[in-house]
């Protein structure tokens, strides 16, 4: 059986460990915060929605809030902060360690004495590992990466004698992934399948899961799905986690999907001390299942929620902020806010009209060369594009112009 979760900071816990964090100077925590940031940091009990505009210091607010909760005598063990990337989680751990004057050593386990600061998938992996005997998972289960998932999916197609030309593995896997993030199991998907395509995908989904089980493996989406199913099928697991995590913080809430929404609110249901940080204007992951309604409906889910708006921007010039605000104001699904900055006005923005992608690439190269001649180094320049497929023409133009570059992909 899995060990019962107990607070290592509690001297009466069966582990007999009393780990005391150094006293944090809570007044110093608030010294350099704005009034809105202070409100977000010092709110303790009850649901909290922080609408954090771009460049408004939300990471500072989240890390100060964790440290402030600890300074109020709240057990670090009872605090859970969820981010969307491992990089963001690492940065938060470093900042909180500095504030607490004590390193937060994360061993990738559920049962440890510090605040857990991790991604949704990392949290679910910890839960599944800890409760594997109860859930019925092998203790040594593997988590397959993208390459392994593609290999298993191709094997499923081959075993079912389904043409990978007509059913591209990437497309089929995307459909299965979407179903899992909607908490639809292979059995439920098969029962709902109506047309030829969904019936074939249902067969692949079922075979794919069988092959994963045969290899004692889960895929990335299974981490969310299996954890949610564990909450339903083993309510004692959910009760223990509700008792454990009395304070829940979620970053980038506008990018949560259905499975993440269900997980978060299930764990917060008992104490209702849930703090979500996000901005509907920055929602960019709808293509992979993010549901902007999660943040738009937070006040419906929690009618007593306190709402704090972080509207001061520290990153951009007045010109950039004005352009961005005027453009995004046309969005219909958003939370109203008024961004402002004390930064300089900045140069006027330039609008370049290109004939096609080649003309556009040439214009970018010319601008990079001009900046280089003005004294800027290549590593001070960056090119952003909407999707990776757009990079080919740009890369060719950079290569031909002998401009050094590095492609950065992914969010982890």
Q: Are 310 and 61 in contact (CB under 8 A)?
A: yes
Q: Looking at the domain that runs over 15-132+225-310, which CATH code has it been given? A: 3.40.50.300
Q: Looking at the domain that runs over 318-401, which CATH code has it been given? A: 3.40.50.300
Residue span(s) of the chain under CATH 3.40.50.300 come to: 15-132+225-310, 318-401
Q: Please give the structure tokens belonging to residue 15.
A: 């582990």
How many angstroms from the chain centroid is the CA of residue 25? 30
* Integer-rounded Cα radius of gyration of the chain: 24
Sign of the four-CA dihedral 131, 109, 276, 177: negative
Per-residue confidence at 15, pLDDT binned at 50, 70, 90?
very low
Tokens 């001297």, residue located: 11
pLDDT at residue 412 tops 50? no
The span from the CA of 248 to the CA of 111, in Å, is 16
Q: Report the pLDDT averaged over residues 25-49.
A: 92
- Cβ neighbors of 12 (< 8 A, separation 6 or more) are none
DSSP letters spanning 89-132: HHHHHHHHHHHHTS-----S-SS-SSPEEEEHHHHHHHHHHHTH
pLDDT tens digits for range 229-271: 999 999 999 999 999 999 999 999 999 999 999 999 999 999 9
pLDDT tens digits for range 315-364: 999 999 999 999 999 988 899 898 999 999 999 999 999 999 999 999 99
∠ CA(211), CA(172), CA(205), 5° rounding?
Answer: 35
Per-residue confidence at 5, pLDDT binned at 50, 70, 90?
low
Q: Looking at the domain that runs over 144-215, which CATH code has it been given? A: 1.10.10.160
Q: Please give the structure tokens belonging to residue 78.
A: 């009872």
Residue span(s) of the chain under CATH 1.10.10.160 come to: 144-215
Position 100 scores a pLDDT of 87
Q: Are 156 and 211 in contact (CB under 8 A)?
A: yes
Q: Report the pLDDT averaged over residues 203-211.
A: 98
Q: Report the pLDDT averaged over residues 298-323.
A: 96
Tokens 């809105």, residue located: 36
DSSP letters spanning 304-358: T-EEEEE-B-SSS-HHHHHHHHHHHTT-SS------B-SS---PPP-----SSHH
């Amino acid at each position: 059986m899995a060990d019962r979760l107990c607070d290592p900071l509690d001297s009466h816990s069966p582990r007999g460990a009393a780990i005391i964090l150094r006293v944090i100077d809570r007044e110093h925590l608030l010294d350099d915060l704005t009034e809105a940031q202070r409100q977000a940091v010092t709110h303790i009990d009850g649901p909290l929605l922080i609408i954090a505009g771009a460049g408004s210091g939300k990471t500072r607010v989240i890390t100060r809030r964790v440290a402030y909760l600890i300074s109020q005598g709240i057990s670090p063990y009872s605090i859970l902060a969820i981010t969307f990337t491992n990089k963001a989680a690492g940065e938060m751990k470093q900042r909180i360690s500095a504030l607490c004057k004590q390193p937060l050593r994360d061993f990738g386990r559920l049962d440890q004495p510090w605040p857990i600061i991790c991604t949704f998938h990392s949290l679910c992996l910890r839960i599944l590992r800890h409760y594997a005997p109860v859930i019925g998972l092998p203790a040594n289960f593997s988590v397959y990466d993208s390459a392994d998932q593609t290999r298993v999916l191709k094997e499923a197609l081959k075993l079912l004698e389904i043409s990978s030309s007509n059913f591209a593995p990437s497309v089929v896997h995307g459909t299965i992934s979407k179903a899992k993030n909607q908490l639809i199991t292979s059995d439920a998907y098969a029962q709902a399948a109506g047309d030829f395509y969904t019936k074939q995908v249902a067969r692949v989904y079922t075979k794919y899961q069988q092959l994963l089980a045969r290899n004692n493996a889960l895929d990335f989406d299974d981490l969310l799905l299996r954890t949610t199913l564990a909450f339903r099928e083993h309510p004692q697991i959910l009760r223990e986690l509700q008792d454990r995590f009395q304070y829940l913080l979620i970053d980038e809430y506008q990018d949560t999907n259905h499975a993440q929404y269900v997980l978060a609110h299930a764990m917060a249901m008992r104490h209702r001390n849930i703090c979500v940080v996000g901005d509907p204007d920055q929602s960019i992951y709808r293509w992979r299942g993010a549901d902007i309604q999660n943040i738009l409906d937070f006040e419906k889910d929690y009618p007593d929620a306190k709402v704090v708006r972080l509207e001061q921007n520290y990153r951009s010039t007045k010109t950039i902020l004005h352009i961005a605000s005027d453009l995004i104001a046309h969005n219909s699904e958003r939370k109203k806010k008024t961004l402002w900055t004390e930064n300089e006005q900045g140069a006027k923005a330039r609008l370049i009209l290109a004939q096609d992608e080649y003309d556009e690439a040439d214009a970018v190269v010319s601008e990079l060369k001009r900046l280089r001649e003005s004294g800027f180094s290549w590593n001070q320049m960056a090119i952003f594009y909407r999707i990776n497929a757009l990079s080919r023409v740009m890369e060719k133009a950079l290569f031909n112009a002998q401009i050094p570059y590095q492609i950065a992909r992914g969010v982890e």
